Amino acid sequence: PPAGGGAPSLSSLLLLLEALRGMLPRELEKQFSALVREALLTLRALIDWYLERLDGEGPERRVEDIPID
């Protein structure tokens, strides 16, 4: 994508997450890590679902002829 446009890169996102983690009090670090882990697992599940949908032929659709008078 052209400079200044498009989605942020993965490295930028990881830097942001590390910065947020560094700003948290120690007692919240474990919860934040669990939150990030759950978000990544959810993202992985969505990607898997989408790829299965692309690979599959999908359900057969029933087509019925309707006479036109």
For residues 7 and 26, the answer to whether their CB atoms sit within 8 Å is no
Identify which has the larger pLDDT, 25 or 8: 25
The band of 41, judged by pLDDT with boundaries at 50, 70 and 90, is very high
Chain-centroid distance of CA 46 in Å reads 6
CA end-to-end distance (rounded Å), the chain: 54
Give yes or no for residue 31 having a pLDDT over 70: yes
The dihedral over CA atoms of 28, 34, 40, 42, expressed in degrees to the nearest 10, equals -120
